[in-house]
Structure 1
Amino acid sequence: MDPVSGALGLLPSKLLELLQAEYNLQKSVRVQVQSLSRELEVIHSTLRRVAAEPPDMLNEQVKNWAREAREASYNFEDRIDTFFVRVVDGCREPIEETGSRWLKSAKKKKKKKMGDLPTKGRAPDDIAAAIEDMMKQLQELNERVRGYTTDDILLRPVTSTSSTVDPRLPAMYRNERELVGIEEVRDELVRLLTQGDAEDDKKREVKVVSIVGLAGVGKTTLAKAVYNRLQVQEQFDCSAFVSVSRNPDWKKVFWDMLLELDEAMYQMGIYTEKRAMDVKQLTDEIRRFLENRRYLIVIDDIWSVEAWKMISLVLCDGNSGSRIITTSRMSDVAAASAAEGRGSRYILKPLSHANSEKLFYKRIFGGERNCPHIKLAEVSDKILKKCSGLPLAIITVASVLASKPWEEWSEVYNSITLRHESNRYVDNMRKVLSFSYYDLPFHLRSCLLHLSIFPENCLFIEKDFLIWKWVAEGFVQKERPGPRISLFEIGERYFNDLVNRSTIQIAEGCLNRGRVYGCRVHPVLFSQIRAISSEENFCTVFEDEHHTSPGNQHSSRRIAMHSIRNVEHNMEKVRSFNASLCFIDGSPQLSSFQVLRVLALEYCPGMNSHHLLKQIGNLVHLRYLGLVGAGVLELQEETLGWLKFLQTLDLRETEIEQLPRNIPDQLVCLCVHQIRTVVEGKIGRLTSLEDLRLRHVTGDIVKLATELSCLRKLRVLVLGFEKMDVGLEKALLESLGHLHKIQRLEIYCKPSTRAVMWEESCWVPSPNVHQLVLGGLLFSRLPSWMINRSPLPLLSHLQLGVEVLEDGDLEIFGRLLPQLRSLI
């Protein structure tokens, strides 16, 4: 699923499921379903072409058509999913709360609307009518789009005869006297590129420095400053500074490089006849020219490893002491280019607050510390914190403020995206930041826009539950063909790809165990994401009384609320509802959801009310239910019993008496802070579980430990016990021996608990384990699996209590655990 094409990517597989024999569709209906699938493919293909271009390059007619097609896709999916729900659900009544007029009305409507519900084995008449209705709508949409030529869809609107200007040009030609905080970094890179030059054997090797960082952090500016300095203090036979960009025209890139390298020949007009060269001929020409010459080349703004490989074809190493500088937002590109020769990767960080302040005041007042009023200084400080050291944002905001009365500075702070401002600095910032979004594959765009649901200035977004939300929303799709991996693991690839592209950052302190726990988004990029989310009508955000990203409030499919009590909004078509620090009291808002798939409430007073919990039982489309920080919660049978599609149940920082007997068997993620009683046989039936976290378990825990052996798909297992006796140890070790997919295993118990059975057992951790924590257990010596030298090639974090380490034990750690980064 992507923001432009909506649910179109999901519909073919759901239609295919409808064709299964168990639904007993009539032959005529089956033919209609197949025709519907073909019509969907036509629209999906056209929407993908539309999505490949930024909105400002599309005419309004095409944008309106795309918006209607996307909304239609959501409606179609809702109707098909409702059919599946009714087949699974049977003829049940809404859960009624005494005195609830809405529920009584809903009950009557449901009886009237549903009548005799379809069941597997019986052909439903209403699905035929729905398919016919959807077919008519699709044909109408396709008929309209067939009137558009390719040029109508893809050509830029004719608003100017001038060509597009590269937004990096100002950075390349900025006077160094205008820059702040660059000297130290520039000199460090110069040292990296020149150290060892006095030694003849090292001087002859090519040396590469790869600069990597966020959009707008100053990579191009820094590369140009280093380039200028090296040209002055080093002796190079030739030099060039070329930009690659997202969709490179290789003939132009190589032609520009050749002209810069041999400027004198260009001035003489000798290369005029070579303009007709193709890419292969230009590659050969550049290689011939660079051979046996000492060159300095900057390759700016590389967007893929493939682009770097193309560039590297012309960069021959003539053992002449050549120097290469690359810049990229992509970590894998920086790693690939740094791997050449004596390469180094340099991560460019944002400016410090002090340097941000200097740059800000210099742009507005002409001096580094020349703020005329204390109130302006206070607003300036808030603005700088929001810019978070990003030079592009600081310069852009300063350029806007310079032309505004002081009284309006606070308004700029409250709208840092500057959506209603326009000057060359603002336009340039928008282009630079939007590149990060429009370069993303379609499946990653939804994942990035989804981050707009979180509060502004959120410093930590928990990775695992973010990915489970992506799965529940339908953003993550199975990959075919290829090895069989879970949707979560595919989503984890998406997450890592966004980190690699510098669109999200690893949150501070979240990589201390060799594993990424959470992320954050740079405030300026986050504002841009919010703006795009609003334009695409992806999500409506209500964040206190003064800050709202409304989108289209009549058709928004996702709602996020932060620190407010209530909002007026039509919830009928909402698919995702996320709230934090909001008062939730089970009002008719919650009751009015018809197709809700994600309900995530965090630290919201009132969410443990009996009324609210009963209403959750009516949300039959739910895939994700999160009630974080709810305190003591009473989950009744009717709360979860009808949630036949629920995948994730997140009850962190929540205590429950016991898991209901009818908890959905299809759960893939179950997280509970504390359970007082474990119903026998319940955990063992959840055979689809991949992630199980029970932080504090009491009651008959031996039976629980025994049932774990049934959960063969577990990747994450976190368990906490008050005490660990021999019976529990034995049952637990027996079960762990069956869990071969475990990647993260954490067992906690009372400190200094003797690990009697753990020492004697033949249990060996799965070779897939990345993180192993045995908290509280005390071994008299290293466990047998280490003494017997069972390698764990992927283990990066180990927490283990050992009384005595013998000679050679540390050597065992180094030999068996090659990826170990953290040992406690």
Structure 2
Amino acid sequence: MEVAVAVVSAVTKSVVSKLITVLEKRYKELKDLEGDISFLHRELAMICGSMEVQISHKGQPSAVEILSMEEFRALAHNIEDCLDRFLPCAACEGELQIRNPRKFCHEIGRLKRELDAAHERKIRYNADFCSAAAESDLDDNPVDQENPGAYGASPAVGIEEAKRELCKSLVDGGQASRRKLKVVSIVGFGGSGKTALAWEVYNCPQVAEQFSCRAWVTVASNQIHGVAAKEALLTAILEGLLGEEAQESVPQKLRQLQQHISRLLQTKRCLIVIDNIKMELWDVIKPIFPDEKGSRILVTTTVTSVANACSLPDGYVYSIRSLSAEQSKDYLDKNVFVNGCSPDLERGSTAIVNKCDGHPLALVSVAKALQGHKLTGDLCEKMTHNLCSRMDENKNGHFTKLGQVLMNNYSSLPGNSLKTCLLYSSLFPNDRPVSRKTLTGRWLAEGYIDGDQEIADKKLDELIDRNIILPVDPSNNGKAKTCKPHGIMHQFMLHKSMASNFIATSLSARNRSNFRHLIIEKHTNGTACNMGHGTSPAGRGRDPLHKFFSSLKEKVDNLFSGSAGEQLRPRSLTVFGSAEEAVPDLTSFELLRVLDLKECNGLNEEHLGHIYKLLHLKYLTLGSSVSNLSVQMERLHCLETLDLRKTKIETLPVEVISLPHLAHLYGKMKLKRISGKNHKRFLQGKSNLQTLAGVVIDNNSGFPELMVHMKKLTKVKIWCESNSTDCSYAVLSEAIHKFAQDGMSTPVGARSLSLHLNDSSKDLLNHHQGDNTMAASRKGYLSSLKLQGSLNQFPQFVMSLRGLKELCLAYTNLTGPHLLLGLRKLRHLVYLKLVEVHLADLDIKHGDFPSLQHLCLMVREPRFPTIQEGALPRLTSVQLLCKGLVGLCDHIKVECLDALCEIALDSQVNQETIRLWQNEAKKHPKSPKVLLLKRVDPADTRSPAKYVATDHGSLKPPVQGTP
């Protein structure tokens, strides 16, 4: 039920925001309704708060309470629908006329009466959301104190290599290293085997013999907070270290406990394991450990930032990996299919491996459930098909722990907004990673985030930090460019979303008009696909009384409503595959805010005609079958994001970029010259465009003169096909310089430029005429710059950029000395990517690049630069991408890069080269990981390729680009 509360909370807060807008604008047509609107505002806020209180008690709601909450959720949706149908665009300034004000007044009055009636029913049937529900007696993180390894994914699965690595990290090192405190962190998704791995390491004889005292402490997820929690943790540590010497008179106060443990650590070398560490507890523990006595601390956590904080400055972080398909299959062969696999059982084994997706606890749970049964392929498939439903139904069975762990990953998220964003991520098939821009842009368009793009990015980063969302293809700054939920979590969230009427995966779903988000996957033969997951009717797993009432309610609803002219209420529609059956139904989707047809094939003019009628649309993305847009696009008044990257559109109608709320435009298109009122609007600085990625500039382009007046533009991508004789050339040069200079007077934030040059435009950044010379000498501000194309010299424009953090130079044909001459001026660079034929003449010396953390070198010939000792003091990641690399790089000494944590190579290098780099990495104090990245060539040969991770369990930040 907690999932349903998060959904209704998000919707209610969105509705309350709209009601506040109505009250603030005080529409003259509503002067007699101000009291009713204020009532709705207060009532919805109270409903939201009372539901959150109910869930905070961790009690199981009764069937009546569940039905009452569902009624209020439906009412919140009805109010939201009413506001969308009758109110003008809330983002527009001024008092616009309400559509059919008389009918709107009637609807508001009706909704108020329905809300009153629902409130009376809640009181009548004692459905008090705020009742003092009993605390759940289920510990979120139960541990067998006799064997902590029994928690989670025990028996341990696939941890042999990880165990050896962690044991080595705890006991190895020279005398100086052994005398210093070291903290080793194990981080990973819930149920991935962190505790089992830590338990194996804790009990390893080679580890145990190194320490005179050892202690194992577990921090329960539902443990008390504040000073009492800190005292409880320190007491457990002290009692563990003292062992049989512990007395009943162990000090109880925080300060005394700290002093007692500190004195003990001064005389003995100790190993302390803290399972499920929290940041607020670590801040209390860390100061009491003496730095020079050689003790070791091993912590486990689901949060990457906590792991990093614990292990700084000289510790080690081990990111636990999902099991590979081979490891999963091997476990099943040893524990389930002990008599071998027939072709039929092989089919069942494959189904289990695919469903569990490398999650140890899921794999162990299925294996235990199959024990004692007569094994068949059908049984194995049936066992995994409705895996999430089994977690609901089998309260004391093999899947109970798995359900608790997955639910804890969700319920531990702070705030309903973040929970709803996670639910929303299950919209996308898990075998198709979704881009950061798509996910965060849709969150904003749906109203699930109260804020801007920066806040949306922080929400996504928090989910990634907790290892619930996995980065797949990170961008230059290390943030996820594409991502996906952890496989088993995706299945769990989709199941919960469907049960709460949040997501439907078919137009034929029961109660389809109640779902807020619809996904349709159509094969070319017209058959629907269920997203690769077992589905269950809404409400599965609830008690029989609730099922009876729900069934009765559905029959009554069906009796009094017909399907003819049914208006569907989803706020988003996502279509994969054929458009034949899905898109014509858009006539029934009048309130859509998000329409994602990027992966939809077969769109035609009739389909597009329906799209132009969706007047509430905020987010639209189209696919490869679209080659032009009509001027009717100007009807989409509310549109904020338009993604045309997969289309075949070459030239965009003027009416598109004139849309008043359009903030983000993606694609590769030409813009014609603008005249009349649209031109005047741009000259007045009224354009709302923030992202334009990107535009093709030729001698007929009207964009350069408009760019100067786009006051809100922060990200622009340009393909320059003009030359120095075109009139647009000088205007474009001026616009680019002004774009950078304007950044100096605005709040510091992401401001980026991507520029693809041709041979005729190589001097674009050094092109100055008349007064532009003085302007060019001024400093500018960009946070990110990408230049692709031949240059005659390192541009003065680039060296003038203050605070430039990310720089990519591709195919510039500049020599190493010329590159260094400019690069040394950029003292704040954090990320640098160089793409050339070779970089043998690049000599990076002591003191160069003091801030650089990520270096990506991509070459066709295996000739890399020289990196001298003392250079790159903060470098944590180096990527040496060349499929022809053989052996080590003679002029790059890994041991001289003190902060190095990661080395990436092209996956096509030979095995001997990989082995040599792995051995070299083991000699480094931080034992940096050696990653293999697979090159993916683009369809457009002029565009860079990208590299993606090949390791099933290692979704580390690969970097885009190509030599």
Q: What TM-score do the two structures reach when normalised by structure 2?
A: 0.72
What amino acid is the match of 1:31?
A: G
| Alpha-carbon distance in 1 for matches of 2:270, 2:6 | 44
SS at match of 1:631: coil
SS at match of 1:9: helix
Tell whether 2:480 aligns with 1:516. yes
Report the equivalent of 1:757: 764
Does the 8 Å contact 2:140/2:222 carry over to 1? no
| Alpha-carbon distance in 1 for matches of 2:97, 2:335 | 70
Superposition map of 1:43-192 within 5 A: 43-52=47-56, 57-85=60-88, 120=97, 124-143=101-120, 147=126, 152=131, 154-156=133-135, 164=139, 166-167=141-142, 169=144, 172-173=149-150, 178-192=155-169
SS at match of 2:315: strand
Tell whether 2:587 aligns with 1:591. yes
Tell whether 2:790 aligns with 1:803. no
The alpha carbon displacement at 1:22 in A equals: 6.0
Residue of 767, 772, 780 corresponding to 2:785: 772
Does the 8 Å contact 1:623/1:647 carry over to 2? yes
| Compared CA separation, residues 687 and 238, structure 1 to 2 (3 A) | same
Tell whether 2:330 aligns with 1:361. no
What do residues 571-593 of structure 1 show as CA deviations (whole Å, max 9, x unaligned)? Answer: 52111111011324686521111
What amino acid is the match of 2:358?
A: G
Tell whether 2:437 aligns with 1:430. no
| Compared CA separation, residues 563 and 151, structure 1 to 2 (3 A) | same
| Compared CA separation, residues 797 and 498, structure 1 to 2 (3 A) | farther
Residue of 816, 829, 833 corresponding to 1:818: 829
Report the equivalent of 1:496: 461
Report the equivalent of 1:417: 388
Report the equivalent of 1:631: 626
The alpha carbon displacement at 1:718 in A equals: 1.7
| Alpha-carbon distance in 2 for matches of 1:363, 1:521 | 28
Does the 8 Å contact 2:781/2:802 carry over to 1? no
| Compared CA separation, residues 287 and 15, structure 1 to 2 (3 A) | same
| Alpha-carbon distance in 1 for matches of 2:89, 2:675 | 30
Report the equivalent of 2:286: 312
SS at match of 2:36: helix
Residue of 357, 363, 386 corresponding to 1:388: 357
Superposition map of 1:23-38 within 5 A: 23-25=27-29, 27-38=31-42
Tell whether 2:606 aligns with 1:611. yes
Does the 8 Å contact 1:586/1:611 carry over to 2? no
What do residues 293-350 of structure 1 show as CA deviations (whole Å, max 9, x unaligned)? Answer: 3321111113x4334324436x43263211101111111101111126x322111112
Could you tell me which runs of 5 or more consecutive residues in structure 1 were left unpaired when the two chains were aligned.
90-117, 479-486
| Compared CA separation, residues 428 and 766, structure 1 to 2 (3 A) | farther
Superposition map of 1:6-25 within 5 A: 6-21=10-25, 23-25=27-29
Report the equivalent of 2:713: 714
Taking only the aligned residue pairs, the percentage that are identical comes to 25
Does the 8 Å contact 2:271/2:296 carry over to 1? yes
What amino acid is the match of 1:661?
A: E
What amino acid is the match of 1:659?
A: P
Does the 8 Å contact 1:779/1:803 carry over to 2? yes
| Compared CA separation, residues 246 and 744, structure 1 to 2 (3 A) | farther
Does the 8 Å contact 2:152/2:191 carry over to 1? no
Report the equivalent of 2:638: 645
Tell whether 2:181 aligns with 1:209. no
What do residues 671-704 of structure 1 show as CA deviations (whole Å, max 9, x unaligned)? Answer: 2343474544758746111111235466721x21
| Alpha-carbon distance in 1 for matches of 2:581, 2:723 | 40
What amino acid is the match of 2:348?
A: V
Does the 8 Å contact 1:513/1:822 carry over to 2? no
SS at match of 1:85: coil
| Compared CA separation, residues 264 and 524, structure 1 to 2 (3 A) | closer
Report the equivalent of 1:482: none
| Alpha-carbon distance in 2 for matches of 1:813, 1:312 | 39
Tell whether 2:370 aligns with 1:401. yes
The alpha carbon displacement at 1:219 in A equals: 0.8
Report the equivalent of 1:345: 317
What amino acid is the match of 1:781?
A: Q
| Compared CA separation, residues 566 and 525, structure 1 to 2 (3 A) | same
The alpha carbon displacement at 1:79 in A equals: 0.9
The alpha carbon displacement at 1:62 in A equals: 2.3
| Alpha-carbon distance in 1 for matches of 2:486, 2:149 | 24
Does the 8 Å contact 2:598/2:646 carry over to 1? no
Does the 8 Å contact 1:514/1:822 carry over to 2? no
| Compared CA separation, residues 722 and 124, structure 1 to 2 (3 A) | same
Residue of 549, 561, 578 corresponding to 1:582: 578
Q: What TM-score do the two structures reach when normalised by structure 1?
A: 0.83
SS at match of 2:620: strand
| Alpha-carbon distance in 2 for matches of 1:264, 1:807 | 61
Report the equivalent of 1:112: none
The alpha carbon displacement at 1:153 in A equals: 5.9
What amino acid is the match of 1:709?
A: V
The alpha carbon displacement at 1:29 in A equals: 2.3
| Compared CA separation, residues 383 and 742, structure 1 to 2 (3 A) | same
SS at match of 2:597: strand
What do residues 338-370 of structure 1 show as CA deviations (whole Å, max 9, x unaligned)? Answer: 126x3221111122333222222222145xxx5
Report the equivalent of 1:446: 420
What amino acid is the match of 1:785?
A: F
Report the equivalent of 1:555: 514
| Alpha-carbon distance in 2 for matches of 1:179, 1:214 | 15
SS at match of 2:448: coil
The alpha carbon displacement at 1:814 in A equals: 7.5
Does the 8 Å contact 1:655/1:672 carry over to 2? no
Tell whether 2:812 aligns with 1:784. no
| Alpha-carbon distance in 2 for matches of 1:189, 1:728 | 60
Residue of 444, 447, 452 corresponding to 1:474: 447
Residue of 568, 580, 599 corresponding to 1:572: 568
SS at match of 2:426: helix
SS at match of 1:737: helix
Superposition map of 1:678-689 within 5 A: 679-680=674-675, 682=678, 685=682, 687-689=687-689
Report the equivalent of 1:39: 43
| Compared CA separation, residues 409 and 334, structure 1 to 2 (3 A) | same
Does the 8 Å contact 2:620/2:642 carry over to 1? yes
SS at match of 2:275: strand
| Compared CA separation, residues 815 and 274, structure 1 to 2 (3 A) | same
Relative contact order (alpha carbons < 8 A, sep ≥ 6): 1 or 2 greater? 1
What amino acid is the match of 1:216?
A: G
Report the equivalent of 1:336: 309
The alpha carbon displacement at 1:177 in A equals: 10
How many residue pairs align between the two structures? 759
What do residues 140-172 of structure 1 show as CA deviations (whole Å, max 9, x unaligned)? Answer: 444555655677364357xxxx65473454762
What amino acid is the match of 2:321?
A: K
The alpha carbon displacement at 1:212 in A equals: 0.9
| Compared CA separation, residues 289 and 148, structure 1 to 2 (3 A) | farther
Report the equivalent of 2:9: 5
Does the 8 Å contact 1:628/1:654 carry over to 2? yes
The alpha carbon displacement at 1:424 in A equals: 4.0
Does the 8 Å contact 1:575/1:597 carry over to 2? yes
Does the 8 Å contact 1:182/1:222 carry over to 2? yes
